Amino acid sequence: MKLTEILAKNKITLSFEVFPPKTDANYESVEKAAFGVASLSPSYMSVTYGAGGSTSRNTVKIAEGIQEKYGVNTIAHLTCVGACREDIHNALDKMKAAGIDNVLALRGDKPKDFVGEPFTDYHYASELVEEIKAYGDFCVGGACYPEGHVDAVSKSDDIINLKKKVDAGCEFLTTQMFFDNNIFYNFLYKVREAGITVPVIPGIMPITRANQVANAVKLSGCNVPERFKSIVDRFGNNPAAMQQAGIAYATDQIIDLIANGINNIHVYSMNKQEIALGLQNNLSEIIK
Ligand code: FAD
């Protein structure tokens, strides 16, 4: 089913993101973890893609398994960095054959070990969006950044570029993680002001280990509120307490979003069934 049909129902959705195995050696354990999340029957799931193509086969395989075994709709991520048109067509053919209707079209970042020119046939995700829409009957989404993308000259430039992506055919947007909902509300206001009308789905990352904070900041440059820093200071050395506090913080963010009219929430639960389950339990009456 196309994600736009799910979103059009105007019901609260809670979706989870998982990643595919990076190598064949860890295939079974990573698949088991991803399937553990699928067994919770979320509204839909998305499966990430290793930029540069390293895990492309596994993205489709995991997404197909989730749909067939658990009846959960999926979105397969696809990046265009280092890819030529033929690579993209091959990836889309595999998705179609596997019954995947939804693609999250991304530029991706140049992998560390990549040799050569990474952007030849495609320079931005908007070009990939256009290609996918022209190639087949897919529902296509894209990424957006409430605090601005790290390469963007300014936040307003980033929103102008985001409009190009939507004009190219992007039907929904999922945000980078953020830890302060006011940043999201502010972004949403600016996005709507720029004439972008597609659904914008907030991406919530439950931080359940202290070292995840540094990684999250490095990856996305996101702002870490004082309230969250205190949690890490107090519970960072106690893994069980940190997990509980991280799930509680994410729960709080989600409740505030839903209370303010945001019906569709995406969670970066990353193959951790206990985290996805913790959130589902905390929100059981709200997402019923
Ligand atoms: P784009 O939309 O192309 O934007 C990249 C930069 O280019 C921005 O600064 C933008 O302002 C600028 N830009 C865009 N269009 C133009 C234009 N026409 N002219 C000038 N500048 C322009 N990475 C992975 O490798 N695998 C994944 O599975 C994955 N999943 C993700 C899921 C989400 C929800 C998010 C938020 C990110 C994900 N990423 C993933 C990371 C993503 O690949 C990187 O953040 C990457 O740096 C940008 O990708 P993009 O699709 O947002 O790029």
pLDDT one-digit tens code per residue, 185-211: 999 999 999 999 999 999 999 999 988
If DSSP codes are grouped into helix, strand and coil, which group holds residue 170? coil
Q: What is the pLDDT of residue 40?
A: 98
Distance between Cα 130 and ligand 1 center (Å): 15
Is residue 112 very low, low, confident or very high in pLDDT (cuts 50, 70, 90)?
confident
Q: What is the pLDDT of residue 272?
A: 97
Shortest-distance Cα residue to atom 20 of ligand 1: 161
Q: Which amino acids are annotated catalytic? A: 17
The angle at the Cα of 244, spanning 46 to 218, to the nearest 5 degrees, equals: 55
How many whole angstroms separate alpha carbon 286 and alpha carbon 280? 9
Is residue 140 very low, low, confident or very high in pLDDT (cuts 50, 70, 90)?
very high
Distance between Cα 238 and ligand 1 center (Å): 35
Distance between Cα 125 and ligand 1 center (Å): 6
Shortest-distance Cα residue to atom 23 of ligand 1: 108
Q: Which of 45, 161, 173, 269 to mutate to test the pocket of ligand 1 (most atoms within 8 A of CB)?
A: 161
Residue 218 has pLDDT above 70, yes or no: yes
Residues β-bridged to residue 140: 103
Residue 99 has pLDDT above 70, yes or no: yes
* Beta carbons of 59 and 48 less than 8 angstroms apart: yes
* Beta carbons of 272 and 33 less than 8 angstroms apart: yes
In this prediction, residues 230-252 reach a mean pLDDT of 96
In this prediction, residues 267-280 reach a mean pLDDT of 96
How many whole angstroms separate alpha carbon 141 and alpha carbon 200? 10
Closest CA to 105 of 173, 161, 151: 173
In this prediction, residues 226-248 reach a mean pLDDT of 95
Residue 137 has pLDDT above 80, yes or no: yes
Shortest-distance Cα residue to atom 43 of ligand 1: 108
* Beta carbons of 217 and 224 less than 8 angstroms apart: yes
How many whole angstroms separate alpha carbon 276 and alpha carbon 235? 20
* pLDDT tens digits along 18-70: 999 988 889 999 999 999 999 999 999 999 998 766 677 899 999 999 999 99
* 258 CB-contact burial (10 Å; exposed 0-12 / middle 13-18 / buried 19+): middle
Q: What is the pLDDT of residue 53?
A: 62
